[in-house]
Structure 1
Amino acid sequence: MYYDSASGTYRIWCVEGDYEPVSTAVLVAVASIRGVEPDELEPLPSAVDPDALNSLVEHWHTHDGDAMGSISFTFADCEVTVSADGEIEIDAAAMPVRPRT
């Protein structure tokens, strides 16, 4: 993961063959950016269906790079965009995270 100072966003890539599904990568990345443990964030399903997200990215990967598109959602006060090319962009400029109680 790296911080893109030009856009003010964090970027990671989820490539085929990674050991974790994209939903887990999003959860861990947002927790890292926010400086909290993943279980301190709101549940990911409150923002996006993790199984559907994983299936969509898997579908994109099976099209040998021909797939185009992206999906965006808000999670833990971050705007998250997952693109068909495997890039995950996280804009954390929103309000600070509120840990679950």
Structure 2
Amino acid sequence: MQTGIQGGNDGSGTWDEPATGVVMMVADAKDVDPIDLDSLFEVVDPDALNALVSRSEGTVQIEFEYEGYVITVRSDGHIHIE
């Protein structure tokens, strides 16, 4: 299992939609197609995740488990999986 992965769709480590970033990064780490993963909705509401980190005026960090990884999503757009 890979650890300490960070990434983003623009190469800077950030994603336009954090929920999409989580799914894409986990699929990449597991070397599977994103469609083969369990639904992110079973763990966290993707719309709520996107809203919390994109509309926050302060610093927000959300951590949860998904597909055997610990996922950290920050309000600055960075996503980290371990």
What's the TM-score once normalised by structure 1's chain length? 0.68
Point out 4+ residue stretches in structure 1 off by more than 6 angstroms: none
Pair 1:33-2:29 in alignment: yes
CA distance in 2, matches of 1:78, 1:46: 14
Cα distance in 1 for partners of 2:14, 2:53 equals: 9
Which residue type is aligned with residue 44 of structure 2? V
Q: Which has the higher contact order (CA 8 A, sep 6+)?
A: 2
| Amino acid across the alignment from 1:9 | G
Match of 1:95 in 2: none
Over alpha carbons, which structure has the higher Rg?
Answer: 1
Show structure 1 runs of 5+ residues with no match.
92-101
Counterparts of 1:81 and 1:46, CA distance in 2? 17
Aligned length, in residue pairs: 76
Contact 2:53/2:60, CA 8 A, preserved across alignment? no
In terms of fraction of residues, the more strand-rich structure is 1
Report Cα offsets for 1:67-98 as digits up to 9, x if no partner: 2120001011110000122211100xxxxxxx
Question: Which residue pairs with 1:47 in the alignment?
Answer: 43
Does residue 69 of structure 1 match 2:60?
Answer: yes
- Over the residues paired in the alignment, what is the CA RMSD in angstroms? 1.6
**For structure 2, which runs of at least 5 residues remain unmatched after alignment?**
8-12
Q: Percent identity at matched positions?
A: 34
Displacement after TM superposition at 1:14 (Å) = 2.1
